[in-house]
Amino acid sequence: MHSVFKAAGIAATALAAVVALPALTRSQPASPPVPAHSAWKSTHRVVIQVTQNDPAVMNMALNNAENLVKFYKDKGEPLQVELVAYGAGLAMVRDDNSPVKDRLAAIAGSAKNVTFTGCGNTLTAQSKQENKEIRLVPEAHIVTAGIARIVELQEQGWTYVRP
């Protein structure tokens, strides 16, 4: 008789655990959705690295910038984008051979929150290698070291993107 009560007690304990199981496995409620026009206070800041002399990569980087501008403009939220070109990617902002020169001018003319930066170290090295003075497109400005510029921006909280 004692073993019957013991078995019944085990069965009751198991049943209680099964009944409690749904309460233990219920997921927590999701965070409330962010309203379409949220009360965003600070500026979204994105740095896009370009290090390849490849028009497809350059165009992808420019597409990223334009898509970000449109997205945050539609949301009514401020944005800053800086494209940093160095190494082989400096070709993007070179005045003599940029395959995307027209796009740079168009974007600079329509999106004042997008800036273009070229690496001074790369510019000096390419000028020496090609034995000529290389200039950047008027829309671009020079920083001492492109990689250092990216590091500094990331340390200030900018989001890093590499297409």
Q: Is 114 exposed, middle or buried (0-12, 13-18, 19+ CB in 10 A)?
A: buried
CB 118 within 8 A of CB 143: yes
Nearest CA among 58, 55, 117 for reference residue 83: 117
Tell me: pLDDT of 65 over 80: yes
**DSSP H/E element including 55:** helix 55-75
Tell me: pLDDT of 24 over 90: no
Q: Are strands 114-119 and 44-50 parallel, antiparallel or unpaired?
A: unpaired
Residue type, 67: N
Tell me: pLDDT of 14 over 50: no
Q: 149: pLDDT confidence band, cut at 50, 70 and 90?
A: very high
Q: Are strands 140-143 and 159-161 parallel, antiparallel or unpaired?
A: unpaired
User: What DSSP state is assigned to residue 136?
Assistant: B
